[in-house]
Amino acid sequence: MFEDFFWRAILAGIGTAMAAGPLGCFIVWRRMAYFGDTMSHSALLGVALGVLMEINPVWGVMGVTTLLAIFLVFLEQRQWISGDTWLGILSHSALSLGLVVLSLMVWLRLDIMGYLFGDILAVGIEDLYWVYGGGILVLSVLGLIWRPLLALTVHEDLARAEGIPTLKIRFIFMLLIAVVIAIAMRIVGILLITSLLIIPAATARRWVHSPEAMALGAMGAGVLSVFMGLWASLTIDTPSGPSIVLAGTVLFTISHLWPNKNGVNQNH
Amino acid sequence: MEITPTDNLVLMRTEGVTVRQGDKLVLQNINLDVRAGEILCVIGPNGAGKSTLIKTLLGLIPPTTGQLYRRANLRIGYLPQRLTLDPVLPLTVGRMMTLTITRTPAEVLTALEETGVGHLLNSPAQGLSGGEMQRVLLARALLRNPDLLMLDEPVQGVDFSGEMELYELIGAIQKRRGCGILMVSHDLHLVMGSTDRVVCLNRHICCIGTPAVVTRHPVFKRLFGERALAAYALYMHTHDHQHDLNGQIAPQKGSCVDATCLSISDS
């Protein structure tokens, strides 16, 4: 009943949402929304570098976003400007730099809008390999570092005093964000990636009492958003990436308006 | 860091430890022994480097110069200065207890009961009051069966009557388990009664000794003023209660713990 491209879109969307959900929980818990945004905004520069070096842009994206993340952690030690301001400076500078560099590559006819807002309907078989390979990698590694990452999310000094190698764990976590950005870029675009990480996690929060349940809930909410967004995209011809994000927002709103007797109270 | 001092009663030792952060000298030439089974209290004004000292001893902040020795296989229970949980992270108290170690539910419950919060086992950790959170964190530290408890401002965010009870609890735990306690505090009047040694810190160690010795020291008077001395004097007259088996205060005839507390808080 659907065309092939639509099946590929659904599969890519599901894979991305499943990888993004649990990782997004940690981004919400660690208050790193802006950090993730800044990393993803640098992805366009990664695309440009990938094209220039004639490698798959996915590698360029992972390289540039990771370097930026390391640079940010380094900058946060220099406290004469707050971390928030650094993020603001780098987020938009990285995005602008990516746009400028791409515009200078005049020989290239690249669909910049597709990178900015996603083009899930143009997903090919090779993209599916990336989504599922990357997704399985992200979830496996996240599972391995789950306990120490949770401990340092609760209190970093306490975790370190109790023997957690916090710096190493934080670095692995940033690498995982870089991978998710690289694979989600085709789905919702670099401007909207953070929403795919954060909205499903925030949607799940009210219904759960454990971190693991929240991760599963975020996966579910993300997958549902993909279905709803793609359905809207197909039936009323809306842009797919923004439709998925808006579907997520609708789920978030419903989740928080829904009367919830035995769940978490809303007064915080 | 791993070198064992010859004296086995010494859990930790610093020799000439200096910590510099940027251009700022936060700790200067700290020579300190932390001994087994004693309550050592670090006091000092804000910005004196008390938290930095505790973090240096824990190995969280590397000393710029100087040596830090720690007895081999030393088990430390640490209570950070402030732990506020983001309500967006769903965590029960029981789960919080076992973030970095694996223990059976029964062991977790026993530790929570030791600090009087066994009933909170399945409660959401972000809904706790200041006092409850400190007791949970204390139980968490006890779960590691520590040789040394390091408490950074353990009564912060606890109301006044709770403060008193928490100090009593810490004293009772020390008596029962015989572990060493290193405690950082700025409200000295309640601390000093059960303290073996006091370190008066103001980036360097101003004076060190028993409470009676330290309070007579001119530097202490200059740092804390006569008001603190008055509070301390009041405390010295409040040995009017005992502990029952659970570490709770068991008032004797004619005692007026509360009245004394009030007069201290008013001073």
Q: Nearest C-alpha of chain B: how many angstroms from A18?
A: 19
* Secondary structure class of B214 (helix, strand, coil): helix
pLDDT tens-digit readout, B125-145: 988 988 899 999 999 999 999
Long-range contacts of B258-267 (CB under 8 A, 24+ apart): B258/B161, B260/B234, B261/B160, B261/B161, B261/B164, B263/B234, B264/B189, B264/B190, B264/B231, B264/B234, B264/B235, B265/B160, B267/B227, B267/B230, B267/B231, B267/B234
SS (H, E, C) chain A: CCCHHHHHHHHHHHHHHHHHHHHHHHHHHCCCHHHHHHHHHCHHHHHHHHHHCCCCHHHHHHHHHHHHHHHHHHHHHCCCCCHHHHHHHHHHHHHHHHHHHHHHCCCCCCCHHHHHHCCHHHCCHHHHHHHHHHHHHHHHHHHHHHHHHHHHHHCHHHHHHCCCCHHHHHHHHHHHHHHHHHHHHHHHCCCCHHHHHHHHHHHHHCCCCCHHHHHHHHHHHHHHHHHHHHHHHHHHCCCHHHHHHHHHHHHHHHHHHCCCCCCCCCCC
Cβ-Cβ contacts under 8 Å between A and B: the total is 67
Q: Which residues of A touch B55 (CB under 8 A)?
A: 157
- Comparing alpha-carbon positions, the chain B residue that sits nearest to A201 is B88
Closest listed residue to residue A196, CA positions, set A142, A251, A121, A154: A251
Residues facing B68 on adjacent strands: B14
pLDDT at A79: 65
Contacts of A217 in chain B (CB under 8 A): none
- Nearest Cα residue in chain B from A214: B90
Confidence of residue B157 (pLDDT cuts 50, 70, 90): confident
Distance between CA atoms of B92 and B71, rounded to whole angstroms?
34
pLDDT at A266: 43
The predicted pLDDT at position B210 comes to 81
Query: What is the C-alpha to C-alpha distance for residues B34 and B180, in angstroms, rounded to an integer?
Result: 8
- Positions of chain A with pLDDT under 50: 265-268
Residues of A with CB under 8 A from a CB of B: 28-29, 31, 147-148, 150-151, 153-155, 157-164, 202, 205, 208-211, 213-214, 264, 268
What is chain B's mean pLDDT, rounded? Answer: 80
Highest-pLDDT range among A5-19, B2-16, B148-162, B221-235: A5-19
Which residue, chain included where needed, has tokens 């929570």?
A: B112
Closest residue, chain B, to A80 (C-alpha): B22
Residues of B with CB under 8 A from a CB of A: 55, 58-60, 76, 78, 80, 83, 85-92, 95-96, 99-101, 124, 126, 144
Contact B161, B184 (CB under 8 A): no
pLDDT score of B6: 57
* Candidate from B88, B96, B144 with C-beta closest to A154: B96
Across B110-139, average pLDDT: 93
Residue with tokens 């959401």: B124
What pLDDT sits at residue B251? 47
Contact check, Cβ <8 Å, B89/A211 = yes
In angstroms, the CA B250 to CA B260 distance is 15
Q: Which residues of A touch B86 (CB under 8 A)?
A: 29, 31
pTM: 0.85
Q: What is the pLDDT of residue B191?
A: 61
Residue B106 has pLDDT above 70, yes or no: yes
CB-nearest partner of B95 from A29, A148, A210: A210
| Contact: A158, B90; criterion CB under 8 Å | no
Which string of b and e fits B137-162 if b means at least 16 CB within 10 Å? bbbbbbbbebbbbbbbbbbbbbeeeb
B241 pLDDT above the threshold of 60: no
How many Å apart are CA B98 and CA A57, to the nearest integer? 42
Per the CB < 8 Å rule, is B83 touching A155? yes
CA distance A155 to chain B (A): 7
Residue contact A154–B95, C-beta within 8 A: no
Instruction: For residues B93-120, give the mean pLDDT.
Output: 94
Using CA atoms, how far apart are residues A171 and A163, in angstroms rounded to an integer? 16
Top residue of A157, A208, A209, A252 to mutate, by most chain B CBs within 10 Å, is A157
Confidence at residue A153, expressed as pLDDT on a 0 to 100 scale: 95
Segment B154-181 shows an average pLDDT of 87
Structure token pair of residue B145: 């069966």
With CA atoms as reference, report the closest residue to B170 among B30, B41, B36, B267: B41
Tokens in use for B248?
Answer: 């709770």
Residue B8 has pLDDT above 60, yes or no: yes
Q: Provide the pLDDT for residue A1.
A: 58
Cβ atoms < 10 Å from Cβ of A260: 13
Q: How far is CA B259 from each of CA A14, B66, B107, B235, B238, rounded to the nearest angstrom?
A: 66, 47, 38, 12, 10
Q: Which of A64-68, A140-144, B58-62, B78-82 has the highest mean pLDDT?
A: A140-144
Cβ of A268 and B87 within 8 Å? Answer: yes
Over residues B149-153, the mean pLDDT reads 92
% chain B with pLDDT above 90 = 42
Pairwise CA distance, residues A43 & A58, whole Å? 9
CA-nearest residue of chain A to B101? A162
Put simply, the answer to whether A209 touches B92 (Cβ < 8 Å) is: yes
Q: Do A154 and B60 touch (CB under 8 A)?
A: no
pLDDT score for B133:
93
Interface confidence, given as ipTM, is: 0.84
As given in the structure block, the two tokens for residue B244 are 């029952």
Model confidence band, residue B83 (pLDDT cutoffs 50, 70, 90)? confident
**Distance (Å, whole) CA B135 – CA B121:** 12
How far, in Å, CA of A114 to CA of B161, rounded?
Answer: 62
| CA–CA min distance A251, chain B (Å) | 17
Burial class (CB in 10 A: 0-12, 13-18, 19+), A114: middle
Q: What is the pLDDT of residue B30?
A: 93
Residue B48 pLDDT: 87
Q: What is the pLDDT of residues A98-130, one digit of tens each?
A: 999 988 887 877 788 888 988 888 888 989 999
* Cβ-nearest to A151 among B55, B86, B99: B99
Q: Are A184 and A199 in contact (CB under 8 A)?
A: no
Q: How far is B143 from chain A (nearest CA, A)?
A: 12
Query: Can you read off the two tokens belonging to residue A214?
Result: 């929240």
Q: What pLDDT band is residue B230 in, cutting at 50, 70 and 90?
A: low
